[in-house]
Amino acid sequence: MKSNKPIVFLDRDGVINQDSPDYIKTADEFEFIPGSDEAISLLCKAGFEVILITNQSMINRGISTRSHLEAIFEKMRAGVAAKGGRIKDIFYCPHAPDEGCACRKPKPGLILKALDRYGINPATAFMVGDSAKDIGCARNARLGHALLVLTGNGSKALETLEKEQNQPDFTAPDLMAAVQWIIQTQGSSPQP
């Protein structure tokens, strides 16, 4: 099922919703970062499709359940839909860091699965995240653009990325600013 629209991969915690060191365990704890739902809607209205790529180790750590995670995703999708946007698909890694899976960011497994499922050209895709893992994942999957937002853990990630000499293609204060850059960049580059 090939996607003919340009794709933007988004991390969840710290990009779309407020993050917590104690994890977002239930739908009641999910709260949009102001403007993030409108930003996703703007992407959709500009002809992009949005796919969520997120580490959710709280599942295998026993902190929350898959049913709670699905309820969080439903609340997020409903909030985005209420603003006129749509999340095409969600790929998540339930594994803890010590499990050695191929899907936990910065490994590219989740993105590679999405690229394969939808026939996406990685060179034309964007990734927006708030962590060094997100930028690393985008690079490991050979995506065309990796963007860092300063919400969530973004400021701390920027320091890490500078030390690693792995600069994002663009650093934005929040998802709305990142989306505006993506739309502008896509408009000025050749279409696939």
User: What domain count does the chain have?
Assistant: 1
Structural domain contains residue 49: yes
Q: Is 22 a catalytic site residue?
A: no
CATH code assigned at 48: 3.40.50.1000
Tens place of pLDDT for every residue, the chain, 192 residues?
677 789 999 999 999 999 999 999 999 999 999 999 999 999 999 999 999 999 999 999 999 999 999 999 999 999 999 999 999 999 999 999 999 999 999 999 999 999 999 999 999 999 999 999 999 999 999 999 999 999 999 989 999 999 988 899 999 999 999 999 999 998 654 343
Q: Is 56 in contact with 94 (CB distance < 8 Å)?
A: yes
Tell whether 40 is covered by a domain. yes
Angle, alpha carbons 71-72-78 (nearest 5°): 85
Give the range of the structural domain holding residue 162, as residue numbers without chain letter. Answer: 7-187
The answer to whether position 2 is within a domain reads no
> Is 183 domain-assigned?
yes
With respect to residue 110, please indicate whether it lies within any of the assigned structural domains: yes
Neighbours of 27 (CB within 10 A): 16
Measured distance CA(107)–CA(136) in Å, rounded: 8
- Determine whether 13 is an active site residue: yes
Residue 136, domain member (yes or no): yes
Query: Is residue 10 within 8 Å of residue 51, measured between CB atoms?
Result: yes
The reported pTM is: 0.94
